[in-house]
Structure 1
Amino acid sequence: MSFGDPNNPYGQQPPPGSGQPQGQPGYGQPQGQPGYGYPQGQPQQPGYGFPQAPPVQPYGGGGFPGGPTEMPGGVKAARVMLWVISGLCLIGTLIFFGAAASLSAAKDNETLQSDSQFQDLVDQSSGVLYALGALALVWLVLSAVLATKVKNGGSGVRVTLIVFGVVTAVLAIYPFTVFGIVHLVLAILIAVFAGKSDGAAWFQRPRH
């Protein structure tokens, strides 16, 4: 009696009593081995053409965790505007001090010394001009210092920039109404650029 082709790995099972135990794998198929094409115990790999997603880079990229590595464009513009304000304040300082000195020289003129109204006007005007010149000089120094601190300054510099912009805008309206139009525009832009999210990220970045 034939039990099938002995070379067929999927041959029929022998009948009971034939001498071969029931439940054994067919001839040619090793016992306990998994089916063809499915190796046992191997980790499942991602499908072809679908690589795993790379890790998410921190804010700013460039491998620098926690902040940008390059100064944002708005912060760069704010620094340039600070230098422009410094130059304008230098011109204003020279104008105010020069006008005050000219009035003081006119006050000492012999032909005008007898004019009491002119003398009073010169005294008041000279005092105002010297005060404005001193204020312009202070703003010149402050804006120049802030411009140099923008590159490496922290959150304190950012807050100072915002306050500087607001106060400068107020002073541009009064008392520097005539000379303050440009200051007004620049001061508003400085406060806006320093207050934006990219400006905050720049000044709050970690420093090593």
Structure 2
Amino acid sequence: MSYPPDPNNPYGQPQQPGYGYPQQAPPAAGYGYPQPAAQPMYGYPPVAPQRMSMPGLMVTARVFLFIIGAVQVLITAGLLIGAAGAKKVANEHTTGSDTAIFGNAAASVLLVIGVVYLLAAVLSITLGVKFGSGGPATRITTIVYGSIALLLGLGVLISSITGGAQSQVAGAAVGAGFGVGIGVLWIAICVLWIAAVTTRDGVAWFNRPRY
């Protein structure tokens, strides 16, 4: 005749859960128990966000901004040198004479134009730099800058065509032709600036998320 095992017997066999014995759940993770590490889903490794590359049209516009900025710096230097020369000529003549008056006026005009070109050079180079990291404000500034420059280019083109048509002097005709070429080139560059930042790729570039 068999007897059930004594639970208080230290030499008895360990109790096995079975019929009539409730299953014990493993201790829940909490204070004093390590948390199980989260495992990534099989077949779905973590994907790092990809950096967007600058559109090709914007790269071209950026290069032209740097080139135009460098040319504007050279023009500024030439205008300031001319202003200094005109001022020197004015100082060498008697105050109130026609030469002195003309020299001072020419120096003032050249100085003002030189300052304008210097500010334009700073803006061109700054926009070129900000193309890499700027946002919507850079895009809007480029549109305004390109629009104003486009109007100036149209003015140069129209005045060159009108002056060349009315002039009968060979030298003036050559100068008018040069002005027409400069005007057409400047208008093309301004259109490139505006188009680069108003196309869908340009808008997406300036609105891209920053990481």
Tell me whether 1:103 sits opposite 2:54 in the alignment.
no
Tell me whether 1:187 sits opposite 2:170 in the alignment.
no
Q: Which residue of 2 aligns with 1:21?
A: none
Selected match of 2:145 from 136, 144, 164: 164
Shift of 1:64: 5.0
Aligned equivalents of 2:182, 2:136: Cα separation in 1: 28
Tell me whether 1:122 sits opposite 2:103 in the alignment.
yes
Aligned equivalents of 2:109, 2:182: Cα separation in 1: 16
Considering fraction of residues, name the structure with more helix: 2
Shift of 1:170: 2.7
Question: Alignment partner of 2:148: what SS?
Answer: helix
Unaligned runs of at least 5 residues, structure 1: 1-61
Shift of 1:79: 0.6
Conserved? CA contact 2:55–2:201, under 8 Å: yes
Tell me whether 1:153 sits opposite 2:156 in the alignment.
no
Q: Which amino acid aligns with 1:195?
A: T
Conserved? CA contact 1:93–1:134, under 8 Å: yes
Given the superposition, is the C-alpha separation of residues 129 and 162 from structure 1 closer, same or farther in structure 2, using an over 3 Å criterion? same
Q: Normalising by structure 1, report the TM-score.
A: 0.61
Q: What's the C-alpha RMSD, in Å, of the aligned pairs?
A: 2.7
Percent of matched pairs sharing the same residue: 27
CA displacement, residues 80-130 of structure 1 (integer Å, 9 cap, x when unaligned): 011011111111101110111110111122xx4377222222222111100
Aligned equivalents of 2:61, 2:96: Cα separation in 1: 49
Tell me whether 1:80 sits opposite 2:63 in the alignment.
yes
Q: Which amino acid aligns with 2:151?
A: V
Q: Which amino acid aligns with 1:206?
A: P
Q: Normalising by structure 2, report the TM-score.
A: 0.60
Q: Which residue of 2 aligns with 1:11?
A: none
Aligned equivalents of 2:95, 2:150: Cα separation in 1: 42
Selected match of 1:69 from 16, 36, 52: 52
CA displacement, residues 127-172 of structure 1 (integer Å, 9 cap, x when unaligned): 1100010011111111111111101111111111111111122334
Conserved? CA contact 1:85–1:183, under 8 Å: no
Conserved? CA contact 1:96–1:130, under 8 Å: yes
Given the superposition, is the C-alpha separation of residues 174 and 105 from structure 1 closer, same or farther in structure 2, using an over 3 Å criterion? farther
Q: Which amino acid aligns with 2:143?
A: I
Question: Alignment partner of 2:133: what SS?
Answer: coil
Selected match of 1:206 from 183, 202, 209: 209
Q: Which residue of 2 aligns with 1:131?
A: 112
Question: Alignment partner of 2:94: what SS?
Answer: coil
Given the superposition, is the C-alpha separation of residues 199 and 63 from structure 1 closer, same or farther in structure 2, using an over 3 Å criterion? farther
Aligned equivalents of 2:186, 2:111: Cα separation in 1: 20
Tell me whether 1:142 sits opposite 2:123 in the alignment.
yes
Aligned equivalents of 1:188, 1:95: Cα separation in 2: 27
Conserved? CA contact 1:173–1:180, under 8 Å: no
